[in-house]
Structure formats: C-alpha cells, structure tokens
C-alpha cells in the first residue's frame, strides 16, 4: 500500500485557539501537579513529626522527601545541618555527599560557604551554580546549583540549615520560592518541638540526678557519724533489689527501691555522737534514743516525690518486725510496707556478714541459720525464702562491694550496660599494672562507647544520662586514684589532680551545651573523651604505674 505524504494543516483562527487552549491546559496541569506535589510533601513532612522514631530517622525521612520532588530537579543530594551555641553548623544527616565533603562539612562556621551564609543572613539562598560562594572545594567536584534554607526559631534565631543540590544552571519554578519558605517553616517547627521536648527531658534527668546526689550526700553525712562504711549502703541496696526481683517486683519499682534503700539510716544524723559512736553496749535509755533515728529520718524525708516517699517509708519501717515486736510503730506482718520488710532483711544480712568496729563477721552458715530461725518472727518468711534462693547472686554482690576489695567496684557497672561495636576497646597496652585502676579505666571506656553509640543515633537523652554517669563515676574514680597516689607518696599527685579537674570541667561543659542546644549533637564529645582517657592512661597513669613498680623493686622482700 502506498502511503501518501500529508501536508501540514493550515491553522484557522479556531485551530490557533485550540492550540493556545491546549498550552494553557498543559501549564495548568503542570501547575496543578506541582501544587499537589508541594502539598503532599509538606503533609508527609508533618506526618514524620508524629512518628515514634529517632530524631536522626526523622531528619533522614524529611531529606528523602525533599530530594525526591520531581519538578525541583534535585540531584538526590542534600544535607541538614543543626546549629550549636558557637554559631557553627553541625552536619546531622546527608544524602549522596562524597566522603571528603562529609568530612569537610562536619562543622561549618556561620558565614562560611552558602549554608553558613544562609545561617548568617537568615534568608533562603539560591544559586544556579555555586561558583565562588562555595569555599569548600575538593578534587572531582562538579558544577551544581544550591538551595540553602535556614531553619529559624520563634525569635528568628537560626537553629539549622537545609541544603539541596540542584542541576547546574537550574531554572527556577514559579512556585519554588514560596515552597522553600514553607519547607523552612515546617522543618523548623519539627526541630523546635523536638528541641523543647529534649530540653524538658534533659532538665528532668539532671534534676533527678541532682536530687539523688543530694540524698546520697545526706546519707554520706550520716555515715560520717556512724561506724558503717560506704560499701554497706551499696551492698544493702543491691541485696534489696535482688530480693525484690525474686518476689516479682516490676523494673520501675526495683529502680525506686535501689535509689531509696540507701536512705534507711539517714535519721542517724539526729543522734548524738556520744551515743552513736559509743564503743560499748548501749544502756536501755541510750537504745531508746537510737531507735528515734527511724522517726527522725521520716521527718527529714518529708515530701511527695515518689523517691522521697519510698525513702521515708524505708527509713521509718526498716526496724519493724513481722511479729509486731519491732519499732517505732510495732506494725505486724503485711501492715509493714514491702520496701521496709525487704530492707530490714537486707540490712541485717549485711550487718551480720561484715566486720564492724564492735564485732567480727559471722560465718555464713551461722548467719543463714539465724535468719531462717527468725523467719516468721523478725522477717517476712517469703522474703527469707527469696534471699536463700538468690544466695549465689547475693554473695557475688558481697564480694563485689567488699570494704577491702576496691579493685572489683566497677564490675557490676560494667555488666549492667554492655556495649558492642566499640569505638574504643580495652587493649593490653592500656594496662598500667595496677589492677584497681585498670578495672576502673575499663568502665570509663565502656561509658565512652555508650556516648559514641548515642552520638551516632543522635540520641541526646542517652548522651546526657551517660555524661552524668561518667561525671559521677569519674568523681569517685579520681578521688580513689588520688588517695592511692597520696598513700604511696607519688610526687606527680598535684599535676594529676589538675588533669582530673580539667576533665570534669570539660564533661560539665558538654552537658551544659547539650542542655542549651540539645539537637546539636557532635562526635566531638566522644572523640574528646576517648582521646583524653587514652592519653591520660598512656602518659599520666603510666608514669604512676612505673613509680609503683620502682617502689616495689626497692622493697627488700619484693617478689
């Protein structure tokens, strides 16, 4: 079949109108499509804010949406930066950035590069080609366009910047400018809400830790006026938790019991030294006075916070007896609060099994025989069964927190939160040859790994909790290490103390900065902690280890 070539139709006025109408319809369709895509993108971003996912996941999903908008010609590359208190942008999440660019863009000062200029000005910056505006360059970098969208809080302060990579020579869409402003407002709202939540949570954590610290200092004050040791309250609280777990207490109740148990004898601060420190047997009148420490403790621990209430309950009732012959109220059976019953048993077990100025420790079989005999009179029988069934765990705690076994103090803490994927692992060359100090360094390394993993997940709450734990543990470790050096007459003690003080100040600085800008998480925290500890171990502590070796070698009976 022969196909004839058709000539082009002659456009009449009607045909011309039809083509114009089709053009308008196409433009209208494109505009409708872009408007629909913009609304969908904003809606999806808002949905992300409601998801129960981590902050890092939220930012990644927001960036996924922005680099997938078809009419925007984004090159599937972009980043979201968070501003810290030092007028710096920290790279939070990125898509498609080369490794060398990720490294160079980890921290960018305001005013540097387009993202820093957007932060400096607080306005959206667009370039069809970054050109000279992009101070950071690297081999193989190709021309491209940029959108830099500042994220602002209610006072117009910059809290972050979104960076989107565009095709070189990108032609702007008529709706782009308003869309970018809308994106900026929407993502800013997500960051602000997250920041406010974290600030409230960080404040709660620090306040709770401060309350515990105050209570524990109050306990320490009572210990100074008694013959009991600091390890007693650690053992007693751990025994209480073990017994409580055995009888089925939930985790939140066990945590409360562990925190409150150390307050059991806080009322002894109200008993005179003449009676409290008397080496011999107390008279009946003196014993009656000592019994008042339960009532005094309850008065000291007034308040309606759950921890205060639990502590007051224990302080008041840990000398009550199952048969009603205890004090101060003569309560019987289950009328004695469970926490009081548990602490009564834990307290007596520890008192009998450890040395005191007025007695030697009892043999374990005699302790167990007495406790078994007193089940149903002094002690709740079910709790005695729980203690006996948990005896291996009880004895492990007894050894861990022995008054004379300082080298094992970190063992329990190390077992509580094991860390995988370590950034810093214990190596033999980190050992200084002093077992007590080595064991504590292992625990500090464990804490550094926790900080690192929390940083990778942008988990501000975990970083704060770990830094607080680190500060508390470092305070104890540094004090014990310094005391050991003092006992050995170590000439480098004062310089060592200054190093410890510098570490404590920097860790507190990190905490304060995170509380002020909780979204500005950086690996600088874990990097500083890691580098400080390794340097401290390999130099300062190593010198002390050599000093101990030299002292041992000079001792006539060494070896």
pLDDT tens per residue, range 415-427? 444 444 567 778 8
CA distances (Å), origin 388, targets 322, 336, 547: 18, 21, 46
Nearest Cα neighbor of 187 from 154, 155, 160, 147 is 160
* Contact of 313 with 339, CB cutoff 8 Å: yes
Query: How many other β-carbons are positioned within 10 Å of the β-carbon of residue 21?
Result: 10
* 3-state SS assignment for residue 52: coil
- 137 pLDDT higher than 60: yes
List the domain boundaries for the chain: 28-198, 230-402, 413-554
pLDDT grade, residue 140 (50/70/90)? low
pLDDT tens per residue, range 280-325? 788 899 899 999 999 999 998 888 888 889 999 999 999 999 999 9
Query: How many other β-carbons are positioned within 10 Å of the β-carbon of residue 385?
Result: 15
Average pLDDT over residues 398-415: 53
Q: What is the pLDDT of residue 122?
A: 94
Q: Give dist(CA 144, CA 128) in Å, integer.
A: 7
pLDDT tens per residue, range 183-223? 999 999 999 988 888 888 888 888 877 777 777 666 766 66
Return the CATH superfamily for domain 413-554. Hemerythrin-like (1.20.120.50)
Token code pair at residue 498: 């200054």
Contacts for 273 with CB less than 8 Å, ≥ 6 apart: 225
Does domain 230-402 correspond to CATH entry 1.10.3210.10? yes
Return the CATH superfamily for domain 28-198. GAF domain (3.30.450.40)
Nearest Cα neighbor of 286 from 295, 274, 269 is 274
pTM over 0.75: no
Q: Give dist(CA 211, CA 305) in Å, integer.
A: 10
pLDDT grade, residue 18 (50/70/90)? very low
pLDDT grade, residue 481 (50/70/90)? confident
CA distances (Å), origin 72, targets 88, 118, 170, 173, 180: 28, 20, 9, 7, 11
pLDDT tens per residue, range 77-103? 899 999 998 899 999 999 988 888 888
pLDDT grade, residue 508 (50/70/90)? confident
């Amino acid at each position: 079949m022969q196909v004839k070539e058709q000539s082009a139709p002659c456009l009449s006025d009607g045909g011309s109108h039809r083509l114009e109408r089709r053009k308008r319809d196409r433009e209208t369709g494109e505009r409708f499509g872009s408007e629909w895509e913009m609304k969908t993108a904003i809606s999806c971003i808002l949905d992300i804010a409601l998801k129960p996912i981590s902050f890092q996941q939220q930012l990644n999903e927001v960036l996924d949406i922005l680099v997938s908008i078809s009419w925007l010609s984004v090159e599937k590359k972009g980043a979201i930066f968070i501003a810290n208190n030092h007028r710096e942008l920290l790279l939070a999440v990125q898509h498609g950035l080369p490794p060398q660019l990720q490294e160079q863009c980890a921290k960018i000062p305001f005013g540097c590069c387009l993202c820093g200029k957007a932060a400096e000005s607080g306005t959206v910056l667009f370039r069809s080609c970054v050109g000279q505006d992009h101070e950071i360059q690297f081999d193989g970098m190709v021309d491209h366009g940029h959108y830099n969208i500042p994220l602002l809080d209610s006072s117009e302060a910059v809290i972050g910047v979104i960076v989107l990579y565009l095709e070189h020579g990108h032609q702007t869409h008529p709706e782009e400018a308003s869309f970018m402003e809308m994106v900026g407002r929407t993502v800013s709202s997500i960051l602000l809400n997250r920041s406010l939540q974290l600030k409230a949570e960080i404040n709660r954590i620090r306040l709770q830790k401060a309350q515990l610290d105050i209570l524990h200092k109050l306990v320490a004050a009572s210990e100074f006026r008694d013959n009991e040791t600091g390890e007693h309250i650690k053992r007693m609280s751990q025994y209480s938790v073990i017994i409580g777990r055995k009888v089925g207490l939930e985790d939140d109740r066990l945590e409360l019991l562990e925190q409150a148990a150390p307050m059991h004898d806080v009322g002894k601060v109200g008993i005179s030294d003449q009676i409290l420190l008397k080496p011999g047997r107390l008279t009946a009148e003196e014993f009656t006075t000592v019994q008042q420490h339960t009532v005094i403790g309850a008065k000291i621990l007034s308040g309606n916070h759950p921890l205060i209430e639990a502590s007051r309950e224990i302080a008041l009732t840990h000398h009550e007896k199952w048969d009603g012959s205890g004090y101060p109220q003569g309560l019987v059976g289950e009328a004695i609060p469970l926490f009081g019953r548990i602490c009564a048993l834990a307290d007596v077990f520890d008192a009998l099994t450890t040395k005191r100025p007025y007695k030697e420790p009892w043999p374990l079989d005699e302790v167990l025989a007495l406790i078994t005999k007193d089940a149903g009179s002094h002690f709740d029988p079910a709790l005695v069964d729980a203690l006996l069934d948990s005896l291996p765990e009880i004895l492990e705690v007894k050894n861990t927190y022995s008054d004379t076994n300082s080298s094992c103090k970190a063992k329990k803490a190390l077992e509580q939160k094991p860390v995988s994927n370590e950034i810093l692992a214990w190596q033999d060359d980190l050992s200084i040859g002093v077992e007590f100090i080595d064991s504590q360094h292992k625990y500090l390394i464990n804490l550094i790994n926790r900080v690192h993993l929390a940083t990778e997940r942008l988990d501000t709450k975990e970083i704060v909790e770990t830094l607080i734990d680190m500060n508390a543990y470092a305070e104890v470790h540094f004090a014990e290490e310094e005391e050991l050096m003092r006992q050995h007459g170590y000439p480098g003690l004062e310089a060592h103390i200054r190093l410890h003080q510098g570490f404590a100040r920097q860790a507190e600085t990190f905490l304060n900065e995170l509380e002020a800008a909780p979204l500005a998480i950086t690996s600088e925290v874990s990097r500083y902690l890691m580098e400080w500890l390794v340097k401290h171990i390999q130099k300062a502590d190593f010198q002390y280890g050599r000093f101990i070796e030299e002292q041992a070698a000079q001792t006539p009976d060494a070896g």
